[in-house]
Amino acid sequence: MPTPLDAVILGIVEGTTEFLPVSSTGHLILTSSVLDLSGDRIDAFNVIIQLGAILAVAVLYRERFLGLLRRDSERRFSGSRGIWFLVLTSLPASVVGLLLSDVIEDKLFHPQPVAWSLGIGALLILLVERTRPKPRFAGLDQMTWSLALGIGFFQCLALWPGFSRSAATIMGGMILGADRRLAAEYSFIAAVPIMVAATGYKLLSTWHLYTTSDVLFLAVGFVTSFAAAWVAVKGFIALLTRWTLRPFAWYRLVLAPMVLLFWPSR
């Protein structure tokens, strides 16, 4: 039976890694393996606690989310236009994820596929940082329909656990002409609708697995995830004023062979 300490550990891992280009899903799979936690309840828990991380972003960017309720002529990312940007970004991965969800969970939610995804994603980060075009978009209010949709197609890469939704969307934004900070901030905001849909679906389809005795376990994971994500998002944005994404790529390249060596193949 998982303990509140397990929930704290998983919550910290989820919140810290959800919006960094290192893959929260990959880290949760590896951490669950280390803690010897497995089964449908743990798999569902690892998805459900993403709601805590989502709430952290919603609070941090509450002005932008509230701006979606009313059109502001001075802000391109507002009102129905801002909502449609998010719909376009969410659509490709939502469709592909629904079509391939069973295959993905069966074949890729294991340490070894995660290791390969971490490594390949790291090499792509280094390539993008080396070859990216000169930025043409520097703020959310410079978003365009094509940029939003293009980032959405890149987000499909995150369906491979270990690749990282954050890495996929940030790299996609940079390739399409967004500066690094814009790509990161839009990645955070665009995560909210697709993650709400994914976690909501998981919650509805797995709620029967839990009993009232699991409420503390779920609550601890949720709160811990929220706090860790709050710190991680604020820290990441601050770091991007001085760093590139390369340190995260090197971290992934160190982690990937360790997983291949020390986690059992499946």
Domain residue ranges of the chain, discontinuous segments joined by +: 4-262
d(CA 185, CA 160): 22
Average confidence (pLDDT) per 10 residues, the chain, 266 residues: 85 93 88 85 82 92 92 87 94 89 81 91 95 90 94 94 92 94 93 84 77 82 94 91 90 92 66
Q: Tell the residue number behind the tokens 């940079």, with chain if given.
A: 174
pLDDT of residue 148: 96
The predicted pLDDT at position 233 comes to 93
Query: Model confidence over 96-106: pLDDT tens digits?
Result: 988 888 888 77
Q: How far, in Å, are 5, 156, 169, 171, 241 from residue 121 at the CA level?
A: 31, 13, 12, 10, 22
Query: What pLDDT is recorded for position 228?
Result: 96
* Total length of the chain: 266
Q: How far apart are CA 111 and CA 261, in angstroms?
A: 11
Distances (CA, A) of 112 to 16, 33, 43, 71: 22, 12, 17, 47
Which tokens in the block code for residue 32? 């669950």
Residues 6+ apart with CB under 8 A from 120: 163
Structure tokens at 1: 């039976």
Label residue 81 exposed, middle or buried (CB < 10 Å: 0-12, 13-18, 19+).
middle
> How far, rounded to the nearest angstrom, does the alpha carbon of residue 64 sit from its chain's CA centroid?
19
Tokens representing 25? 């899903």
The answer to whether the predicted template modeling score (pTM) of the entire model surpasses 0.85 is: yes
CA nearest to 199, candidates 12, 45, 11, 95: 45
**Per-residue pLDDT at 208:** 76
**For residues 34 and 111, what is the distance between their CA atoms, to the nearest angstrom?**
11
Please tell me the distance from the alpha carbon of residue 141 to that of residue 148, in angstroms, as a whole number: 12
191-214 confidence digits (pLDDT tens): 998 888 878 777 777 777 777 777
Q: What is the reported pLDDT for 86?
A: 95
Please state the φ and ψ torsions of residue 178, each to the nearest 5 degrees.
Answer: -80, 145
Structure tokens at 108: 């890729």
